[in-house]
Amino acid sequence: MIQPANSNDQQNSTDETPWWNRPIHLQDFFKDAVAPFNKPPVPEDLVALHNRALQHTQNFAQPAKTLENEKFGSPEFTLFAKIKYYLARNIGEYKGLSRSIELLQVAIRAKDYYLKIEQTELRYRGSKQQELYNCVMELLSQDLTKDEFQKRVKQKLAEVLPLVKTEEGRQALQAYTEALENLSEDQLGLKLLSLFKQYQLADYSILRTISDITVKLQKEDLYDVKGLIVTVRLKYEIFEKMGKIIGIKGRRSNPEVYAKMLQYIAMNHKHGIAYVQFDQLLKILKQWEEPFKKVVAIREEYSSKEYKQPKTFAEEIPGLELYKKYQEFLKEDEDENENK
């Protein structure tokens, strides 16, 4: 006797049947066919918000692209940007070096003024000249403002100048005060002069030597610090003397630390102007992030699987490739803000 097939047998039979011989269930067929057309549209206010944000990304992307420089992609420039990041935040292997580097940079920039001051004090030793030098020493110890310092020096010059016997001597003192005035334009310039005198380091020619080294380094590849360490070792006595003035003492006073300082200063000469442009680029990309995140959030919330999206949802986001290129630098700022 033939037994009726049970439901499981029927199911197995259907599963094993080739798709072209399977029965068509019209209800399911029409349900699948019309499903894409039954998706609800993205709410109009969200579409408008998306489109405004998309336009804002374009507004930021255009000026950002004009700032981009092929130099930004070089390993040396990338390293320079990271060193600036570490110095500004006083972290990593550059912790505690920012002030010393700043002082050394001021010393190098103002070396001619220091040399003029040194030469005058050594060559013109009359009683009235010495009176002016002593006055300067006293003023340096008072931590005066630039204007007050310049005013007091001029007052003292006016007092002693008529009493100097020779024209050469008078001209020398005028040049001396001019050098002091130029030096005082940077508050660190006076601070450094005070430190030189405090440590009784009268040989300012070491500044010329260090300056010459940094000028030569600007023509070299500065990515690897090892070569700079060799350079420092050859003139290490000079760097040790300078280290006392700029606050590099104890175990910190070693060839590697001075090499890192020289590396940064030489890089700053090479890439300083470009970095200003790079910093502007990062600031614009930071502004670009806000509308970008809105666009992405709306597209994810109203995905094409569940909603009928307008054409603008498929458009490429302006500036995205540029953002990806420099995202690591923006991420560093985000990490810092999270740690505050």
Q: How far apart are CA 315 and CA 335, in angstroms?
A: 30
Q: Exposed, middle or buried by CB within 10 Å (0-12, 13-18, 19+), for 86?
A: middle
Token duo for residue 222: 């500065």
Q: How far apart are CA 87 and CA 285, in angstroms?
A: 22
Start-end of H helices in the chain: 7-16, 26-34, 44-67, 75-89, 98-109, 111-123, 127-140, 146-160, 167-183, 187-198, 205-217, 226-234, 236-246, 255-301, 320-325, 327-339
Q: Exposed, middle or buried by CB within 10 Å (0-12, 13-18, 19+), for 300?
A: exposed
Q: What is the pLDDT of residues 136-189, one digit of tens each?
A: 999 999 989 999 999 999 999 999 999 999 999 999 999 999 999 999 998 899
Tokens 């930021």 belong to residue: 60
Contact 152, 143 (CB under 8 A): no
Q: How far apart are CA 137 and CA 19, in angstroms?
A: 101
134's CB contacts (< 8 A; 6+ apart) are: none
pLDDT of residue 5: 43
Local confidence pLDDT in tens for the 340 residues of the chain: 334 444 444 444 445 655 445 555 555 544 454 455 679 999 999 999 999 999 999 999 999 999 999 999 999 999 999 999 999 999 999 999 999 999 999 999 999 999 999 999 999 999 999 999 999 999 999 989 999 999 999 999 999 999 999 999 999 999 999 999 999 998 899 999 998 888 876 678 899 999 999 999 989 999 999 999 999 999 999 999 999 899 998 889 999 999 999 999 999 999 999 999 999 999 999 999 999 999 999 999 999 999 999 999 999 999 999 999 999 898 765 555 444 4
Contact 192, 103 (CB under 8 A): yes
Residue type, 228: L
Tokens 């029409």 belong to residue: 30
Q: How far apart are CA 40 and CA 129, in angstroms?
A: 91
